[in-house]
Chains A and B, each alone.
Chain A
Amino acid sequence: MGSTISEKILAVHCRKKTVEPGEFIEPKVDTALINDVTAPLAIKEFRKSEAKKVFDKNKITLVMDHFTPNKDILSAEHVKLAREFAKEHKIKHYFEGGNVGVEHAILPEKGIALPGDIIIGADSHTCTYGALGAFSTGVGSTDIAATMITGKIWFKVPNSIKFILKGKLNKWVSGKDIILYIISLIGVDGALYNSMEFAGPICKKLNMADRFTIANMAIEAGGKNGIFTPDEITEKYVIKKAIRKYKFYESDKDAIYLKTYEIDCSKILPQVALPFLPSNAKAVKDIKKTYIDQVVIGSCTNGRIEDLRIAASVIKKGKKINPNVRAIIIPATPATYSQALKERLLKIFIDAGSIVSAPTCGPCLGGHMGILASGEKCVSTTNRNFIGRMGHVQSQVFLANPAVAAASAIKGYIATPDEIK
């Protein structure tokens, strides 16, 4: 009996030949991640334990991204606490201020998250690194406190569900549409406790940005992790960035899956997930005309340079943002910001009447930099549209890809780029 890619990575990290779904294991961790929201609780627990030092100063990453630039006194105090902790323990990978970007965009960019790794993070979207062929998943602050001491984490080995992506990609359809379509098919708990493995011929047509978007939203189907088999596209992405050795794994042909879904991508049209669950996805053409107040293009889901290029190409075509809409563009990292500046994408955004923000998670979680009033509607390239997610409990978030978000910003209602003449 063979093993899946997830099982292989888990087994290697606890020096076992194989692991079985349902088994409890305590593997070694390659990177433990915390942010400005989850670090304070982890640091408090770490200190309470009376541990003197962290297990490895190179394997802990602190990213102060959620409320950056610090939105109020309390969040500034949290960052201060994390900064002092990082200094005290000589933590190598600490990101704040001008260095900070959205965590799940910056770790791959800096070569900290690598194929074959186990990466845990006190942030639910830590599953993003599965795009690289790593086993990565979200945990809590207390988990990270324990890992900072022991270098290990407890897991129950998940069952795997395979998604075979076939067919062809329609115009304006991206990784975001594929994952929204899958979540609408299986529901927000359709992969609860399980590993989501993405396979099939379409994978070869997906660039790293699309793969990151898909793996990022595995958690929105309840998945423990989302994972792709690394290939030459992965190799090209990591080869110059990697800060240490990495390894490619792949599932055996006779690996066991709990379920297998064949997804015919030819059937997927640009999607929009209506409030208040990511599983409420429908084709944009099938929804009633919905006027909007705000557009957000950014986040760990869709704030990469590829996303900004698509948005800029649509905005250029339409020229001006609708006067009833605030269009907020948030490059996910400083390097993305700099590249967008070089490619003159930011000029296109600003000249059209958008707001370009510093890298931050900001509005995605209703933190700051674009909060909604009661009754307001926002098309967002982020990952959650729960009640009150971006502000007032009576506001609404519609999830979409960057092309749909940009087209909607121009039209003033939820639209695809084909509607721009």
Chain B
Amino acid sequence: MLDIILKGNVHKYGSNVNTDEIIPARYLNTTDHATLAKHCMEDIDKNFVKNVKPGDIIVAENNFGCGSSREHAPISIKAIGVSAVIAYSFARIFFRNSINIGLPILESEEAVKSIKNGEEIEINLNKGTIYNITKNKTYQSHSFPEFMQKIIRAGGLLEYIKK
């Protein structure tokens, strides 16, 4: 199996980035991925959409994605081309939504503490390693429990339940 490598520049945020900030409710009258992408992170960082490039990675502190159950939040992040989110911890509904829709998320306190905004990093999803290209430094994230790996390998929850 080929290793999945994700590479991009970092957009860094603090703790408790909530789903209202990721995608405000005024855009919840649509499920169109392109529209949701256009407003991603709008209420926390209005320049995010302008600055982000395909493959870029969001890095945040505690409790990323807290608040509502709206799947529109991870969808907007994935649809704008963000390849992964790294945090100390994730809010639980955001966590399961990301697994279910196939947005890679990693927990690593060591990586979050060290990585600065704008640095270039590379993630090896199979190994769970995060390589900081700017700093030439490698961090390890926790690997997912086997049950979740099954969902991820199947390509999302609905593919998993078909089996």
Contact = CB atoms under 8 A, between A and B. Distances in A.
B89 interface: yes
B119 interface: no
B158 A142 contact: yes
B66 A188 contact: yes
A189 interface: yes
Contact of A123 (B66, B69, B96, B156): B69
A353 interface: no
Interface string A123-138: 1101000000000001
Given A222-B91, A388-B20, A48 B158 contact: yes
B50 interface: no
A135 B91 CA distance: 19
Given A41-B71, A386-B21, A387-B20, A192 B29 contact: no
B145 A44 contact: no
A120 to B, nearest CB: 10
Which are the 4 A-B pairs with shortest beta-carbon distances?
A74-B29, A140-B97, A189-B63, A24-B147
A49 B93 contact: no
A333 interface: no
B16 interface: yes
A140 B69 contact: yes
Nearest to B94: A140
Interface string B2-41: 0000000000000110101100111011110000000000
Contacts of A146: 100, 157-158, 161
B52 interface: no
Interface of A: 24, 37-38, 40-41, 44-45, 48-49, 66-67, 71-72, 74-75, 78, 121-124, 126, 138-143, 145-146, 149-150, 154, 156, 188-189, 192-193, 222, 224, 277, 365-367, 384, 386-389, 393
B55 interface: no
A367 B26 CA distance: 6
A384 B147 CA distance: 33
Interface of B: 15-16, 18, 20-21, 24-26, 28-31, 43-44, 62-63, 66-72, 75, 89, 91-93, 96-97, 100-101, 145, 147, 151, 156-158, 161-162
10 contacts: A74-B29, A139-B96, A140-B97, A142-B100, A142-B158, A156-B145, A365-B25, A386-B18, A388-B43, A389-B25
A407 to B, nearest CB: 27
Contacts of A66: 28
A142 B97 contact: yes
Given A44-B31, A386-B18, A141 B161 contact: no
A139 B97 CA distance: 8
Contact of B66 (A193, A222, A366, A393): A222
A188 B19 CA distance: 14
Nearest to B75: A41
A188 B69 contact: no
A49 B26 CA distance: 29
B73 to A, nearest CB: 9
B157 A142 contact: yes
